[in-house]
Amino acid sequence: MNNLHIAQSGSDLFVSGIEEMNLADTLDCGQAFRWSSDDGVTWRGIAFGKELNISQQDGGLLFKDTSSDDFDKVWRRYFDLDRDYTALKTQISTNGTLKTICQQAGGIRVLYQDSWEALCSFIISQNNNIPRIKGIIERLCELCGNPVGSGYAFPSAERIAAMTVDDLAPIRSGFRAKYIIDAANKVASGQLDLSQMSSLPIDDARAQMMTVKGVGPKVADCALLFGCGRIECFPVDVWIRRAMSELFEDGLPAVAVPYAGIVQQFIFHYRRRSAAATSGGDTPQ
DNA sequence: GCCCAGGGAATCG
DNA sequence: CGATTCCATGGG
């Protein structure tokens, strides 16, 4: 088990007992698209309709202006703080290659995001690059999200369902606009019930997700992993396909299968980081 | 101009 | 079935 320690100091919350975590890697590895930082230490973002300023310092996480209520209801689960990543990494490190990956990319935690935001975000991600994905999502929030703090919340499915493809022109999402609208319509109408996705048999959940136009196996797995807590999902994109053929020709080692989604993030980050290191750092961040 | 980007739908043998 | 091609847009 984790030995999480939570201390209040004024209006801030300080959380320690998670020394193996790397906040910057976690927020900037391409699993969530609404976090930004000027210095790589302090991060600002909006999730579940709440703005957060957070930094990693003195061996812990500093949640600025955060009530223990918000921490318990939102951030504790969002940052997956009750999972013992140390034990997980020790277990999968019985494989030599995974041990190296854990050492170089094991600070990432899989964020538990809002299911609708995750579905919509990974629809936008298809055949796209991370900086542009962030831009499209930011414009979508500015276009029709509710104001929150210094920014805008991610718009609800109902709000987007009230719009047309032409209405989405300002966000410049290209051919993905029609997919966003279809997803919003199916979620807002109840035809796709995202609240069931955390408990449905995984093949049923995946099939449900794929009833949305523009949602195939990869986007479905990303939405299930990052938005519905389904860590058995292992989304395969171009980076993972490359990494797997280079590092694990016989597939994911059995010891990692129960945590496939978390290990996928480690591998994804490890592979992209090595690409950046060997190409002069000009690889997309 | 080219190629690629956290893919998927449509089309064609 | 598997293999191509097209899809919008922006950066390198």
Token code pair at residue A212: 């949305």
pLDDT value for A281: 44
- Give the up-direction half-sphere exposure of residue A186: CA atoms within 13 A in the CB hemisphere: 20
Which residues lie below 8 Å from residue A32, measured CB to CB, with a gap of 6+? A45, A47, A111, A113, A121, A226
Is the distance from CB of A47 to CB of A74 less than 8 angstroms? yes
Q: Does the nearest atom of strand B lie within 7 Å of A219's Cβ? A: yes
CA of A176 to C1' of C6 (A): 13
Residue A43, beta-bridge partner list: A37, A54
Q: How far is the C-alpha of A176 from the C-alpha of A228, rounded, in Å?
A: 22
Q: Which of residues 56-95 of A touch strand B (CB under 7 A)?
A: none
Token code pair at residue A168: 């989405």
User: Which helix (H) or strand (E) segment is A77 a member of?
Assistant: helix A76-78
Closest nucleotide C1' to the C-alpha of A176: C8
Q: How far is the C-alpha of A130 from the C-alpha of A274, rounded, in Å?
A: 17
Name the average pLDDT for chain A: 95
Q: Does the nearest atom of strand C lie within 7 Å of A174's Cβ? A: yes
Q: Does the nearest atom of strand C lie within 7 Å of A103's Cβ? A: no
**Which amino acid, residue A235?**
P
CA of A16 to C1' of B4 (A): 41
Dihedral (CA of A95, A101, A104, A106) sign? negative
pLDDT value for A3: 87
pLDDT value for A18: 96
pLDDT value for A201: 98
Helix and strand counts by DSSP (H, E) for chain A: 13, 8
Closest nucleotide C1' to the C-alpha of A282: C12
| Residues of chain A falling short of pLDDT 50 | 281-285
CA-closest candidate to residue A33, choices A105, A118, A128, A110: A118
pLDDT value for A279: 65
Q: What are the phi and psi torsion angles at A152 (to 5°)?
A: -135, 140
Is the distance from CB of A232 to CB of A261 less than 8 angstroms? yes
Chain B nucleotides close to protein (CB under 7 A) are 4-9
pLDDT value for A283: 43
Token code pair at residue A112: 């538990």
Q: Does the nearest atom of strand B lie within 7 Å of A218's Cβ? A: yes
pLDDT value for A238: 85
pLDDT value for A275: 78
